[in-house]
Chain A
Amino acid sequence: TQLLEQSPQFLSIQEGENLTVYCNSSSVFSSLQWYRQEPGEGPVLLVTVVTGGEVKKLKRLTFQFGDARKDSSLHITAAQPGDTGLYLCARPRNTGKLIFGQGTTLQVKP
């Protein structure tokens, strides 16, 4: 199967807390993308990870690609209300489509 499993599905935290979102698959992927979608908008690409073990940072967001390229994680440090949204992992396929995980809905309360 090419399914991507994301966990947790929902997360509600207080401003200033840290959190981690996971994206797992039983198969190896050549690359993985993370998106954030805010209400009323389409997903926006945050990062693409390609190499096993790769770590990328985007301000307070840290993205990691597993050594075996079957899993990835997104860690947010000191979450802010502006981080609220739906976080999606996705893998591109040769057929031209992106396969998305079910998403993690994050709510950061002030």
Chain B
Amino acid sequence: KAGVTQTPRYLIKTRGQQVTLSCSPISGHRSVSWYQQTPGQGLQFLFEYFSETQRNKGNFPGRFSGRQFSNSRSEMNVSTLELGDSALYLCASSSHLGAYNEQFFGPGTRLTVL
């Protein structure tokens, strides 16, 4: 069974630009969550999608958004990039809604904002 895949793996952008990251969950998983990982703040929850609907949202500004498609694939978008958005963005999939179910993480997308 293929794991969670994230594309691209690495991305370099400049301040003010926008970026779209993609996540393909494990086949059959309907829940996708996104996390931001930085050395200073650690792993922080961005949002969770289930059946194409955002179910939960973390404490991030509106520049961070996402969506989920009918095949459970998910994208997250960051607009008007800031230097502080440089981070590893991790996607996790689960068979059911909620963090009590085992989350399977992808390898992440490393975003660098110059």
Contact = CB atoms under 8 A, between A and B. Distances in A.
Nearest to A101: B42
Q: DSSP majority for the B interface?
A: strand
Nearest to B101: A92
Interface string B3-31: 01000000000000000000000000000
Contacts of B92: 42
Contacts of A98: 33, 35, 43, 45, 99, 103
Interface residues of B, number: 25
Interface string B75-110: 000000000000000111000011110111111100
Contacts, number: 59
Contacts of B100: 31, 92
Interface of A is mostly: loop
Interchain residue pairs A-B with the least CB separation, the first 10: A42-B105, A97-B45, A96-B56, A92-B99, A100-B43, A96-B48, A92-B100, A102-B42, A98-B99, A95-B56
Interface of B: 4, 33, 35, 42-45, 48, 55-56, 58, 90-92, 97-100, 102-108
